[in-house]
Amino acid sequence: MGARSISDRRKAVAKGAGALALALFCVSMMALAQRNGLLDGLNIRLMEIAGRARESDMGTPVTWIMQLASTIGGTAGRLALLGACFVGLWRGARPRAFWLLWTVIGGTLLNLALKQVFAAPRPDLLPHLDLVHSYSFPSGHAAGNMIFFGALAILAGRGSAYAGAALAIALIGISRVWLGVHWPSDVLAGWIEGLGWLALCRVWLPARRGKGEGADQAAMRRHAVGGDEAMDPEAVEHSRGGD
């Protein structure tokens, strides 16, 4: 059983690493296509739609919502939410709290590294409605919140949690295009990066308390319960008729 468990874990790690490698390959191909202008048509068209929407009657309240979503999904806001979730998990699920912490921090560092590798400038098609100082590709808001809210949904393990996470991820990603600071392809690349990182990190997700007992531990526990009888059947027989 132990050998099978180790083999299964290796397969899971290989699948997670493969998913991350595939995601990074897709991100690299998107970066190459964007750099060579192959995505300009779609990027410009979608950003022009956002620009016209910003100037409409509903543009001002929607912009306020987008700015709020972008602030909550920014690095500072995300780290504040992470701290609150870490404290909430600390008492009853300490290993899962640490899993969430390192998943989010590792994903943030990965995104920072990719930004330096691709060194893509910010779009200048629309006036920026947010202060930005870093490179554009892939979007840190998109990747970071895919990882954070995705990890929370994985921890919760409920359909409603996945739906809520998808809504938050989509709103924050769209807000970056609406505010003029990211091309749509930046956001899409960030989402892909975040999914790949989650696929790898999920391999090390600690089990819920009471649900993580593996086959080896269960077998050992069953053996321990009946161990005295199994080891010394004569003594058991003697005890049955001793009185």
Closest alpha carbon to 109 in 123, 101, 215 = 101
User: Of residues 128, 133, 182, 238, which has the active-site annotation?
Assistant: 182
Mean pLDDT within 216-228 = 40
Tens digits of residue pLDDT in 139-171: 999 999 999 999 999 999 999 999 999 999 999
Q: Kind and range of the H or E element at 172?
A: helix 159-178
The three-point CA angle 32-197-161 to 5° equals: 120
Model pTM? 0.83
Of all residues in the chain, the percent with pLDDT exceeding 90 is: 78
Q: What is the pLDDT of residue 219?
A: 40
- Is 223 considered catalytic here? no
Question: 60 vs 47, 52, 187, CA distance in Å?
Answer: 17, 12, 22
Tens digits of residue pLDDT in 20-75: 999 999 999 999 999 999 999 999 999 999 999 999 999 999 999 999 999 999 99
Q: What is the pLDDT of residue 72?
A: 95
The answer on pLDDT for 240 being more than 50 is: no
Tens digits of residue pLDDT in 67-91: 999 999 999 999 999 999 999 998 8
Q: What is the pLDDT of residue 91?
A: 85
Mean pLDDT within 214-227 = 40
The answer on pLDDT for 187 being more than 70 is: yes
Mean pLDDT within 108-137 = 95
User: Of residues 128, 141, 223, 238, which has the active-site annotation?
Assistant: 141
- Is 141 considered catalytic here? yes
